[in-house]
Each structure stands twice: as C-alpha cells, then as structure tokens.
Amino acid sequence: METTQSNKIVYSALKPTGDLQLGNYIGALKNMIRLQDEYRCIYTVADMHSITVDNVPADLRRRTYDFMALFLAIGLDPEKSVLFVQSHVPQHAELAWVLNCYTQFGEASRMTQFKDKSLKHPENINLGLFAYPTLMAADILLYQTDYVPIGKDQKQHLELARDVAQRFNSKYSPTFVIPDGIFPKQGAKISNLLDPTAKMGKTDDNAGGVVFLLDDADTIMRKFKRAVTDCDHDIVFREDKPGISNLLTIYSVFNGTTIEEAEKEFAGASYADFKLKVGECVVEYLKPIQEKYDYYMKNKDYLEDIMKKGADTARYLANKTLSKVYRKVGFVQPK
Ligand code: AMP
C-alpha cells in the first residue's frame, strides 16, 4: 500500500446484494474516492454480508465482479487503496465470532435494520442476519480503522462497533482503535424517487424509484420523469418537500453545485423541466463510469489480479489484529 499524507485508516464496504444505486454513490462511494488521497484506505466487496438474505449464488458471483469493476470505474485506485473481497480474508469471520461473545443479545436486538429486514423476510430470520452488525464491527476493527465513510442508515451499526470495541478495550487493554463515521455533507440519505419518505435501496420493492449506476440513459430518464414531487410549484429544499429536496440533492451532487445554487438555477422552472435536467445531469455523469465499467468487465483476469493482491495485503493487516485479540482472550497460539 502506498504511503499517503496521513497514516489514519479508512475502511468501508458495500454488499453485493443488489446492483449499486445512486444512494450508494452519494452516501458512501463519493467519499471513498475523495478519501483515497488523504488516508490509507481499505475497501471491500462484502459478499459474506450478502448471504444474510436469500440470494442466488450466480447473481452473487456476477455482482462480486461487477462491484470490483465499478470500484475501479468510479476511480478507486488499487495503487492507493486496498481493494478486496471479504470472503477472501477469513479473519473477518474469525474476529466476528469473538465479537459475538462480547455483544449482548439485547443490544443486537435493538438494531433497526435487523427489525426491518425481519419484517420484510419473516420466512428467513437467520442467525447471520442477527449477527450482521458484529461481522460489520469485525470488518472495521480488524484494520484499526479511524474513519468509516457511510450513509446515515449505517450509523447505528457503527455505534455498536464502537461500543463493542470500547468494551473489549476496557476488559483487556487497548486493542482496537475506536472508529468515527464520515457522513456526506449532502445526501447522507437519498430517497426512493417514487417514495421520497423511504431510503433508496439496492433491493427495494419500489425498483422504479431506484436509479442504478448501470441503468442505461433511457431508463434513467424514465425514472426521473416519473419521480414523485408535490402539488406546489417551488423548487426549494424544505423538510415538507421530500421529493423536491431529494432531487435537488441529487442534482447538486452530480452537477457539483450547492443546493442554494441549484435552487437559484431552477427558480421559476416547471417540475417537469427540473426533473428532465436532473435526469440529464445524472446520465452525463454516469456515462464515462459505465464505459470504464464495460472495459473492466471484459478484463476479468485483471479484476481477479486486483482481488488477489488486495486480499494478500488485507490478510497481512488483519492478522496483526486477530492474533492480538486471540492472545488477549486466552487462545493458545502455536509458534
Ligand atoms: P448497502 O447498500 O447497505 O451495502 O450500503 C452501502 C453503503 O451505501 C453504506 O455506507 C450505506 O450507508 C450507503 N447507502 C445505501 N443506500 C443509501 C441511500 N439511499 N442514501 C445514502 N447512503 C446510502
């Protein structure tokens, strides 16, 4: 890994359960790209998290390549950052087991994502889904992470990781760095275009309101044209205008302007014109990313090479923490 200006560690992961969408880009990926020049960054395709919900193995396999290709296409640079696939580094599962034993049933039960997913999939409330946050804590804590760029929806999981790390540190001695979240200034929560009160998610039932990074131009335009607004006419960012505010956020991120500048630009415009402009700006922004993605997907050997090199480095780093943890909890370590 190249030494950058700071030795602080940044860690983030995305799970290949569904295709990457605008919320992922604005909430997490954009910060991940920016942070590469300042910190030592470690970024993961979190395939082990994906099997906590029902999934088709062939889709998971395809998406693992997809995500790695998209990581590169958006500008994550394997010369600057460690890019790897979670299941290639067994220390994640090993530390997660230890952390399970230092996490209370009650605190894991309070996780809202677990409650939401249990309601959504009552037929598959498995132990992995329940223990998802301790696997996530292991992901982060293994690398002595200082900062975690994430969207607002992951805040509660990060809090749990901090609590468990603090508990372990005070029971034994300082072992883990306590990580802080980095949330985007704009767009910590991007909403579904058809239901602006709900988070845009990779596996939403309301898929017509989710814009995927690999959607073609016509699909993107169609989704924006149908975006839910309200019955008034003002294009302003306000709590009681979730649809318009969401569109203004998306526009300002992809156009590189502030919300105030976007409001000025669209003062007096019709909702239809506004939605068209937002769609066009997203199409323009994603075009070069999609072209690069196509290029990388045609070079699977290269992707595998990146995965392998990243996993080698990650295993080396992860092992340092894991052996410390094993020693502290009393596991005998053969020489
Ligand atoms: P996930 O899709 O759960 O794998 O999340 C990957 C990353 O994207 C996490 O850091 C999430 O916080 C972020 N993220 C996912 N959906 C959104 C959204 N609608 N708005 C903002 N951030 C999001």
Other CB atoms within a 10 A radius of the CB of residue 288 amount to 11
Cα–Cα distance for residue pair 313/66, rounded to 1 Å: 21
CB distance 42 to 9 below 8 Å = yes
H or E stretch at 85: strand 81-85
Provide the residue type at 15 as one letter: K
CB contact at 8 A, 281 and 309: no
The domain 5-183+300-329 is classified under which CATH number: 3.40.50.2000, 3.40.50.300, 3.30.9.10, 3.40.50.620? 3.40.50.620
What residue's CA is closest to ligand 1, atom 17?
Answer: 23
pLDDT at 26 > cutoff 90: yes
Contacts for 243 with CB less than 8 Å, ≥ 6 apart? 191, 193, 196, 227, 228, 229, 230
How far, in Å, is the centroid of ligand 1 from the Cα of 189?
Answer: 8
pLDDT at 202 (0 to 100) = 85
Domain 191-295 has CATH 1.10.240.10: yes
pLDDT in tens, 63-98: 999 999 999 999 999 999 999 999 999 999 999 999
Q: How far is the CA of 187 from the centre of ligand 1 (A)?
A: 10
Catalytic residues: 117, 199, 202
* pTM higher than the cut 0.85: yes
Domain with CATH 1.10.240.10 in the chain: 191-295
Query: How high is the pLDDT of residue 2?
Result: 46
pLDDT digits (tens, 9 = 90+) for 109-156: 999 999 999 998 899 999 999 999 999 999 999 999 999 999 888 999
CATH 3.40.50.620 placement within the chain: 5-183+300-329
| Residue ranges lining ligand 1, Cβ < 6 Å | 14-15, 23-24, 26-28, 150-151, 153-154, 188-190, 199-202
**Measuring from atom 6 of ligand 1, which residue has the nearest CA?**
14
pLDDT band at 235 (very low <50, low <70, confident <90, very high): very high
pLDDT more than 90, % of the chain: 89
CA-CA distance, 68 to 307, in Å (whole number)? 8
How does pLDDT run across 242-261, given as a tens digit for each residue?
Answer: 999 999 999 999 999 999 99
**Which atom of ligand 1 is nearest to 46's Cα?**
4
For the stretch 187-213, pLDDT in tens is 788 999 999 999 999 887 788 999 999
Q: Name the residue at shortest CA distance from atom 15 of ligand 1.
A: 24
